Amino acid sequence: KAGKLSRKVDLLEGKKAGVIRSWNHYGVILSGSQLMLFKDDDWFNSKISDLKDPLKSTSLSTLKPDVLLMTSESVALYDKSYTKYKYVFRLICPKGNQYLFKAEDEDEMNDWITKINYA
């Protein structure tokens, strides 16, 4: 799955992340249990169209994400107690890191949650 998400680092090793608490916009690819985040929108869009083009035979493994998260032991969930923004889900990682991801709409949010959890 590929799409756009905004991300915010909420907790690092169980503690409230201090320095950078702002939201960052990413182009995102979920491949197996690798969640790859790319900052550059234009570059991301061109790579996505290359990946779709059979003649270009672009390989996912050549992509260098700005952030790589392994989701196999993580859980994505909708956090009812979080009300500040809509379509936000939480990614809880084994070492106590937690990220908030903001999707474009409810269907997208649910699709990301499902695919991350079952990848």
Residues that bind ligand I3P (CB under 6 A): 8, 20-23, 84
Joined tokens for residue 44 = 């991301």
CB–CB of 77/90 below 8 Å?
yes
- Nearest to residue 13, comparing CAs of 96, 92, 94, 100? 96
36 vs 100 by CB, closer to ligand I3P = 100
43 vs 85 by CB, closer to ligand I3P = 85
71 vs 98 by CB, closer to ligand I3P = 98
Task: Give residue 3's identity as a one-letter amino acid code.
Answer: G
